[in-house]
Amino acid sequence: MATATGSTLQAKLISPTLTVNDVKQSTKFFENLGFAVTERWDEPGQPLGVMLQAGGASIGLSQDDWKKGRDRQKGVGMRLYIGTTQNVDQLATRAKAAGLKLDSEPYDTEWKTRAFDVTEPSGFKITIASEA
């Protein structure tokens, strides 16, 4: 069994891809958090997906094709944790000024970091926090 220090996988990056209800709306959400679109995939008149980047972090978004039903719940049991060296209070202020509704105002964590929480329009939970 691998341990954190002796694992067989030496990953340098993880880049989740989220299947979302409305890729345009979700792209705008992440842009309002400070991400920039680096790639875009479209069919004529229909966005299929994007890759977004902020610093060294990247997130993919893909449009739900609804084959599993339109009532499929997204983001259950999952939270994206985004660490930053930036001032979390300033990031929260910018996110609110861009029109995002915070789930929580910036708060001090038990790990001696500062964080705030938001929910992406399809239901994915996100925490943005300072590094310890």
CATH of the domain at 79: 3.10.180.10
Assess if residue 7 is contained within a domain.
no
Specify whether the CB–CB gap between 60 and 53 falls below 8 A: no
pLDDT tens string for the chain (132 positions)? 556 666 788 888 889 999 999 999 999 999 999 999 999 999 998 899 999 999 999 999 999 999 988 888 888 889 999 999 999 999 999 999 999 999 999 999 999 999 999 999 999 999 999 986
Assess if residue 58 is contained within a domain.
yes
Assess if residue 88 is contained within a domain.
yes
Residue numbers of the domain that contains 101: 17-65+75-130
Assess if residue 55 is contained within a domain.
yes
Assess if residue 107 is contained within a domain.
yes
Counts for the chain of helices (H) and strands (E), in that order: 2, 8
The three-class DSSP label of residue 79 is strand
The pLDDT score that the predictor gives to residue 131 is 83
Assess if residue 22 is contained within a domain.
yes
**Count of domains observed in the chain:** 1
Assess if residue 33 is contained within a domain.
yes
Assess if residue 1 is contained within a domain.
no
Cα distances from 78 to residues 9, 45, 93, 126, in angstroms, run 22, 31, 25, 9
What residues are paired with 17 via a beta bridge? Answer: 60
